Chain A
């Protein structure tokens, strides 16, 4: 059995509808994330990805169900779960060092000022911003701001890193570099990551598992796709992997057609408590296989 860090257990989110009834954004949502796993969630905008992430962060409460982290039900935000916000959310009146040190001081309230600054400086160096400690957010480019956001989240050594489309506002080049660094840092520290993206290639490069969410209202987790690419994959070279196109086609296919039809026409035997885990095997780079031909295999957890 895997070492389970996060367990989302049957959560739902409902809002009062304009007509007087209720809109169910999603319900009966179940998902487990193992320690050290990098999970990417993809799905159309409005299906409730951010809502799920906010519930995981403790910033929002589910209408039903619970989230268990490290064996305990969460009841609010915690320093164990760091959030990297889509809009970076840096405090404009603080410097880069000030922003990161603020988080460090919150995590270790009894630490000395020197200790706090040392930790913050180290985190800033990790994201490649050494030398920019004294700058204010307004003086930074979009990519640098997001780096500070990452440094702030990593500096508190969280159990879980929650990221909501962290790189979507960046230009392609910056995005590539940041993805690479994020992957390196998270692998080096064994960081558990739950990340939302709408970029299929980003999910393929970063994720160990890709969670597919159907369209709302009443969104569900359609399936969990295990990334067949080797762990030492390189940014910019993933499309040379023999499994890349099968995986990419599978994801695109889901986003284009199955995300709409899944809710009303779920596959036979679909159990929302155990969304099917899909492995796209085949090609030469994959682990030993009975068949060389690419095929889809659904396995219940």
Chain B
């Protein structure tokens, strides 16, 4: 893309944002004070009824909330009032743990499935059966067996990250170019050295694609999982703020969840670029 085209796209993006914010502000601004209300009654009803003010916060309210969170993201005032930074850290830690465990399982098993047609055929029915199960369906089973809500959430992340990585690793390993394998064969390279010096680098871009899909799914699932298990995490935070009827905080969370998801995705995209070599 040329620089001008990029600038144009940027300008249009900014315009869309401006129009959206303007419409939002207009949509939530009040319809003027209500007529002749008993002051005591008005006090009881709050601004929503008396000023015709919408219950929906405007962009300025959200901006103020975000600023508040940014100034002090890590405060801790008891179980129901923690900074958004702390909640995010909990979620990221859970996703990180479950995801890394899934990497440790999916890549070796994917290698096995990709290298052995027998194992591929033997494991295929299980993979096909378990892959379409919503990870949240595992939650009751996890809570029952593990008896710890935090670890159960990690388990759910593990399960949902597993499949894309496993399937992509197996596919990447099975489709390594025959030529490269023949190079290894003519050089009498042993199986272990071949796995690490030929198959792994050749399959790395495909494996990373699976890892990128997995981190996306894991970040989607953690919010729902934390809404269920409660306690800590950004998912719990969203649900708690909904119970507090703090729509500004809910909107702030949506933004923050989006930003963190984008960062995770970009990190893996960057890693993918590092292992991809044109021929």
A97 to chain B, nearest CB (A): 15
Do the beta carbons of B182 and A89 come within 8 Å of each other? yes
| A79-B188, A81-B186, A102-B197 given; A89·B179 CB < 8 A | yes
Q: Is B185 in contact with chain A by the CB < 8 A criterion?
A: yes
From B183, B188, B204, B275, contact of A89 by CB (8 A): B183
B178 to chain A, nearest CB (A): 9
Contacts of B182 in A (CB 8 A): 59, 83, 85, 89
| A92-B277, A92-B279, A102-B197 given; A85·B185 CB < 8 A | no
**Which residue of the partner chain A has the closest CB to B177?**
A89
Do the beta carbons of A78 and B279 come within 8 Å of each other? no
A81 to B185, CA, bound (A): 11
Do the beta carbons of B275 and A93 come within 8 Å of each other? yes
Q: Is A103 in contact with chain B by the CB < 8 A criterion?
A: yes
Do the beta carbons of B187 and A102 come within 8 Å of each other? yes
A93 to B278, CA, bound (A): 8
| A91-B180, A91-B201 given; A138·B279 CB < 8 A | yes
Q: Is A62 in contact with chain B by the CB < 8 A criterion?
A: no
A156 to B182, CA, bound (A): 16
Do the beta carbons of A77 and B277 come within 8 Å of each other? no
A136 to B182, CA, bound (A): 20
Contacts of A78 in B (CB 8 A): 186, 188
From B187, B201, B204, contact of A103 by CB (8 A): B187
Q: Is B189 in contact with chain A by the CB < 8 A criterion?
A: yes
C-beta contact mask, A133-151 vs B, less than 8 Å → 1, else 0?
0001110000000000000
**Which residue of the partner chain A has the closest CB to B275?**
A93
A137 to B110, CA, bound (A): 28
C-beta contact mask, B173-203 vs A, less than 8 Å → 1, else 0?
0000101101101111100000001100110
A37 to B22, CA, bound (A): 83
A105 to chain B, nearest CB (A): 9
| A83-B182, A85-B179, A87-B179 given; A92·B188 CB < 8 A | no
From A79, A85, A87, A93, contact of B187 by CB (8 A): A79
Interface residues of A in 25-68 (CB under 8 A from B): 57-59
- Point out residues on B near A: beta carbons under 8 Å: 177, 179-180, 182-183, 185-189, 197-198, 201-202, 204, 275, 277-279
A5 to B222, CA, bound (A): 66
Question: What's the tally of chain A residues with a CB closer than 8 Å to chain B?
Answer: 24
**Which residue of the partner chain A has the closest CB to B279?**
A92
From B180, B186, B197, B198, contact of A82 by CB (8 A): B186
Q: Is A279 in contact with chain B by the CB < 8 A criterion?
A: no
B190 to chain A, nearest CB (A): 9
From B179, B180, B189, B202, contact of A106 by CB (8 A): B189
Contacts of B277 in A (CB 8 A): 92-93, 136, 138
| A87-B179, A89-B179, A93-B201 given; A57·B279 CB < 8 A | no
6 new A-B contacts, CB < 8 A, other than A58-B186, A106-B187, are A59-B182, A77-B185, A85-B183, A87-B179, A102-B187, A136-B277
| A59-B182, A91-B183, A93-B275 given; A106·B201 CB < 8 A | no
Contacts of A76 in B (CB 8 A): 185
Do the beta carbons of A59 and B179 come within 8 Å of each other? no
Do the beta carbons of A137 and B279 come within 8 Å of each other? yes
Contacts of A81 in B (CB 8 A): 186
Do the beta carbons of A138 and B186 come within 8 Å of each other? no
B98 to chain A, nearest CB (A): 30
Do the beta carbons of B197 and A57 come within 8 Å of each other? no
Contacts of A79 in B (CB 8 A): 186-188
A84 to chain B, nearest CB (A): 10
Interface residues of A in 108-147 (CB under 8 A from B): 136-138
**Which residue of the partner chain A has the closest CB to B183?**
A89
10 tightest CB-CB pairs across the interface, nearest first? Answer: A106-B187, A89-B179, A92-B277, A138-B278, A93-B201, A77-B185, A77-B186, A93-B277, A92-B279, A83-B186
A146 to chain B, nearest CB (A): 14
B22 to chain A, nearest CB (A): 48
**Which residue of the partner chain B has the closest CB to A162?**
B186
A107 to B275, CA, bound (A): 27
A81 to B182, CA, bound (A): 13
A81 to B187, CA, bound (A): 9
A6 to B279, CA, bound (A): 35
A78 to B185, CA, bound (A): 8
**Which residue of the partner chain A has the closest CB to B198?**
A91
Do the beta carbons of B187 and A107 come within 8 Å of each other? yes
A78 to B186, CA, bound (A): 6
Contacts of A58 in B (CB 8 A): 185-186
Do the beta carbons of A57 and B275 come within 8 Å of each other? no
A59 to B178, CA, bound (A): 11
A228 to B278, CA, bound (A): 45
**Which residue of the partner chain B has the closest CB to A88?**
B179
A85 to B188, CA, bound (A): 16
29 CB < 8 A contacts A-B = A57-B186, A58-B185, A58-B186, A59-B186, A76-B185, A77-B185, A78-B186, A79-B186, A81-B186, A85-B182, A87-B179, A89-B179, A89-B180, A89-B182, A91-B183, A91-B202, A92-B277, A92-B278, A92-B279, A93-B202, A93-B275, A93-B277, A102-B187, A102-B197, A106-B187, A106-B188, A106-B189, A137-B279, A138-B279
